[in-house]
Amino acid sequence: MIQKPKIALTIAGTDPSGGAGAMADLKSFHACGVYGMSAITSIVAQNSLGVQHIHNLEPAWLEEQLASVFNDEPPHALKTGMIPTPDMMIIIERYLKDFDIPYVIDPVMVAKSGDSLMAEQVRKQLKTTLLPYADVATPNIPEAEEITGFQLETMDQIHRAGDFFINEVGSKGVVIKGGHLEGDATDHLFTREGHFVFEGERYPTEHTHGTGCTFSAVITAELAKGRSVYDAVAKAKAFIALAIKYTPEIGRGRGPVNHFAYQSQKGWD
């Protein structure tokens, strides 16, 4: 008999250009050998040049999508990206309480173009609704600064931020991504077991649209397979490095990464 595939669910906004949001997540799931499902929170008009319009769906429409998924075939792991309203967070929180599956949160607040994707009051609610359930949170430096309330410029401050996520917010793990810092692209994973460093080369390209979505989606896919948090983050780090190194050069602005570079270079694993 053919073995049923592992399933990963993304709850996120759209990107018609395919570089970020649910579209990037589904490509990443597929590239990791996991069956992808999606529930949409917002219809976003965006491309490599920036975000032009955002149309948030009614919270009840998100509830209907999630009910359809979970009443039929619950996923083995899920991730959230752009969650634009407090009501949507409360809906998702109910599913996190009822279903004991790995959860990855990419606290999407600002697009690579600099466009804001989340209102101030919604950002604050992340800390009390979704972040406490996270097996892994994946903030970049500006997002981590927004959540913690202090600057992250030194290793002591990064350690302090990791401690804040684990002991103050209640997340089980957090990857503080170093893409916004100077030097090599070094990421820091903090869990209740310790601190782990993932070093990586910084490639000279502006085509990094959707890196956060892709990185967190790979972690989700690997957790759906039953991998440890450490192994999932290690795979995501290698995946995103190749995705950036071999960008498809699409668009007139900050283009997307290559979601199939890892598969073509490394094969299925």
Catalytic residues: 177, 208, 210-213
> Can you tell me the distance from the alpha carbon of 90 to that of 130, in angstroms, rounded to the nearest whole number?
8
Helix (H, G, I), strand (E, B) or coil at 201: coil
- Separation between Cα atoms, residue 27 and residue 38, nearest integer Å: 11
Which of 79, 108, 15 shows the shortest CA–CA distance to 217?
79
For residue 17, report the phi and psi dihedrals to the nearest 5 degrees: -85, -5
The 10 Å Cβ neighbour count of residue 211 is 22
What residues have CB less than 8 Å from 251, skipping those under 6 apart? 17, 19, 47, 48, 49, 209
- The size of the chain, in residues, is 269
Q: Residue 241 corresponds to which tokens in the numbers above?
A: 């490095």
Dihedral sign for Cα atoms in the order 148, 149, 153, 159: negative
**Partner residues linked to 38 by β-bridges:** 10
Q: Which residue, among 40, 36, 27, 38, has the nearest Cα to 6 in the 3D structure?
A: 36
Q: HEC states along 46-89?
A: EECCEEEEEEECCHHHHHHHHHHHHCCCCCCEEEECCCCCHHHH
